[in-house]
Amino acid sequence: MVGSEAFALFARPLDDRRLVAADVAVAVGYVAVSAALRHASPVLPGVHGPQLSGPTADLLIAATGLPLAVRRLWPVPVLLVVLVASAFALGLGAVRDPFVAAAVAVYPVSLARPGRAAQAAVAVAVVGVAAVVGGAPTGPWPYWWWSGPGLLLVGAVLVVGAWMLGTAVRERRAYAARAADGLAERAVMRERLRIARELHDVVAHSIGVIAVKAAVANHVVASRPEEAGDALRVIETASRGALTELRQLLGVLRAGTQPDDQLAPTPGVADLARLAAQAEQAGLRVTTRLDGVDGLPEVLGLTVYRIVQEALTNAVRHAAPAGCRVTVAAVDGALTVEVVDDGGGAGGGGADGYGLLGMRERVAVHGGTLAAGPRPGGGFRVAARLPYGGVR
């Protein structure tokens, strides 16, 4: 677990300034350590042939390490420069660790260039290691790490290890980016579903009343113009109500950018009488009974309101003219909502299916249950049970 967390921290991308500072520190640190080791032991044991010393060796060490400061800007050119400088440094005995710089230069190549590009860079680095080792005037045992096979092994391990590390970091960052995109997409989808549900709840009820009354007006406009006029007045009232609710919903959606807007109160149990009156205007006979629902939390009251609104909308569409009974009561540690009609329609949310789905989602948020379906004797029943800690 600790290793995984450490790798996650290492794989986290840094900002540009911190990257530049880190690369400069790596380059300066490599040059300083290599120069200090050379000054501590001017003559490298196990190396045959001439060895550089003094400022010339220091310049060669600097040529090997300082390009690492810009390794992220030009990863491939820096890798080539470091390989060439490392070859001279090893051949002339200027450095003790000729392939550390090469490994550090390989890392940004594998990090920035996925797939074949990184593999080609590693192949070039390994071939360079082998070529440098083959031409190095090194001696045998006991300096095994300075012998040909030892140098080849150490160099290959360092270079391949740096490539594997860069590849792992790149893949982890790509995975993190995909995960972040997935979270953003899911958040957008949830918001779209929420807006769609709210729009459905706001519009469907009024549109249902309007559709029923428009059909009535069209049917009786010639024979009974007074009744057609009544239907048109109901349509006007329902249209104005729908427009008001839409404005309220849009105001809520814009509340983050317009904090001074005065938003209407959230509908709740107290507004059920208005819903019943609208349904009665559409030809549905509605009786309402409320028991022990005073002081409901706002979010619970909104859920009750939307459930009753959707159930009455379905009844208007499929059952009117018929009778409908709405009961909201606090019973046995829960809040029960029941809407029953005695019409012959199917109900259940219409062809779009959003109504029943929206009710189930709202009930599920509170950890409740919902049952909806035709009654054995005719009609349709919607019953929800919501946990309610305020029940006495």
Q: Where are the domains of the chain?
A: 2-183, 284-392
Secondary element (H or E) of residue 9: helix 2-11
DSSP state of 348: S
Q: Which residues contact 157 (CB under 8 A, 6 or more apart)?
A: none
> Which of the four pLDDT bands, split at 50, 70 and 90, describes residue 174?
confident
pLDDT value at position 290?
A: 92
Distances (CA, A) of 40 to 33, 54, 99, 334: 10, 12, 20, 82
Distance CA 100, CA 81 (A): 14
Helix (H, G, I), strand (E, B) or coil at 15: coil
Check: CB of residue 257 under 8 Å from CB of residue 295: no
Q: Which residues contact 11 (CB under 8 A, 6 or more apart)?
A: 168, 169, 172, 173, 176
SS3 286: strand
Write down the pTM of the prediction: 0.46
* Fold annotation for 284-392: Heat Shock Protein 90 (3.30.565)
The reported pLDDT for the residue numbered 366 is 85
Per-residue model confidence as pLDDT tens digits over 238-273:
787 777 777 766 665 665 444 444 555 678 888 899
Q: What is the pLDDT of residue 339?
A: 94
- CA 317 vs CA 46, 133, 325: distances in Å: 96, 87, 16
pLDDT score of 42? 56
**pLDDT tens per residue across span 124-140:** 766 666 665 555 554 44
- 191, two tokens: 């918001």
Quick check: 60 and 11 in contact, CB under 8 A?
Answer: no
pLDDT, tens digit, 9 for 90 and up, residues 56-97: 777 888 888 888 888 888 888 888 888 878 777 776 666 666
Are residues 362 and 325 in contact, defined by beta-carbon separation less than 8 angstroms? no
Specify whether the CB–CB gap between 79 and 102 falls below 8 A: yes
User: Which residue is associated with the tokens 């290793």?
Assistant: 3
Question: Distance between CA atoms of 168 and 145, rounded to whole angstroms?
Answer: 28
pLDDT, residue 67, reads 87
What Å distances lie between residue 195 and 63, 198, 199, 358, CA to CA?
Answer: 62, 5, 6, 11
